Amino acid sequence: MNKKKLTDLLKESHSATHALVEGVDPEIRVYKEQDWRIRDILGHIATWDREVTKSLNAFRLGEEYFIPDLEEDEFNERAVFERKKLTYQQVLMEWEEAREDFIEAIQRIPLDQFQGNLLYPWGDERGSIQELVAYMVEHDEEHRDEMKEAILASKVE
């Protein structure tokens, strides 16, 4: 798969999420146990887009990046907590910028490196850029489905 195809997948996934949340109350609760709302999910996606971008940039430079001592649930909770102080507009802006940076990182990787094997930011897995993009699109889809369900449930209440 070429760069354009991968970046198109990322853009399409992002656009689908954008269409879902546009005009929707960002305070709709998606995960009751963790008290994650739509705004928190968008911030969570932005966090992982940023981490993936760091891995891609390191790979381009012949280095590796991963989150040391990652305890994923703890990492996610901390990232959501840090964004609670942001306005919804700031969360949206970060979410948009993080995806743009992710796409730009892919574009900057030289073609001769593009088929390489990189360390993913969670640190215990390696793979191709294509597989990494597939993971992140799937990540978007999972959260988009959960947000859609929460939005529908909020209309019934």
- Read off the CATH number of the domain in which 35 is found: 1.20.120.450
Looking at residues 131-146, what average pLDDT do you find?
98
Q: What whole-number distance in Å separates Cα of residue 97 and Cα of residue 99?
A: 5
- For residue 1, the model assigns a pLDDT of 67
Q: What whole-number distance in Å separates Cα of residue 40 and Cα of residue 46?
A: 10
Residue 128: how many other CB atoms lie within 10 Å: 14
Confidence of residue 157 (pLDDT cuts 50, 70, 90): low
pTM of the model: 0.95
Q: Which residues pair with 2 in a beta bridge?
A: none
Is the four-CA dihedral 26, 28, 30, 31 of positive or negative sign? positive
- Give pLDDT tens digits for 51-89: 999 999 999 999 999 999 899 999 999 999 999 999 999
Provide the domain count of the chain: 1
Q: Which domain holds residue 16?
A: 3-156
